[in-house]
Amino acid sequence: MSIRGTAACPLCGRVSSLQSTEPAVQLDCPDCGPYEVTTGVIGHLRSDARAKAGVRAEIQRQIISGVARPHISLEVLKALLGR
């Protein structure tokens, strides 16, 4: 099932369009850009400022390199945080 609507960007807090397709959420944030995160990553972003900064930088890096909608999973998050 797909859910469409708006939500606060977990990285910057701005209102963003959202599409949820389990197990991932696609966001189109006016500040962070378009990206997709797995539901497991969202909890980390809410509670860990270092994770939030790392993910935001990774999204920008991928967008600059030509990725249309970067995908951030727990595996990507762990690699960014060196865990």
pLDDT above 70 covers a percentage of the chain that reads 98
Name the pTM for this structure: 0.85
The CA-atom distances, in angstroms, between 47 and each of 10, 11, 41, 50 are 10, 11, 10, 9
pLDDT digits (tens, 9 = 90+) for 17-55: 988 877 899 999 999 999 999 988 988 898 899 999 999
- At 4 the pLDDT is 86
**Overall domain count for the chain:** 1
The band of 1, judged by pLDDT with boundaries at 50, 70 and 90, is low
Range of the domain at 67: 2-81
The band of 70, judged by pLDDT with boundaries at 50, 70 and 90, is very high
User: 35, 70 in Cβ contact below 8 A?
Assistant: yes
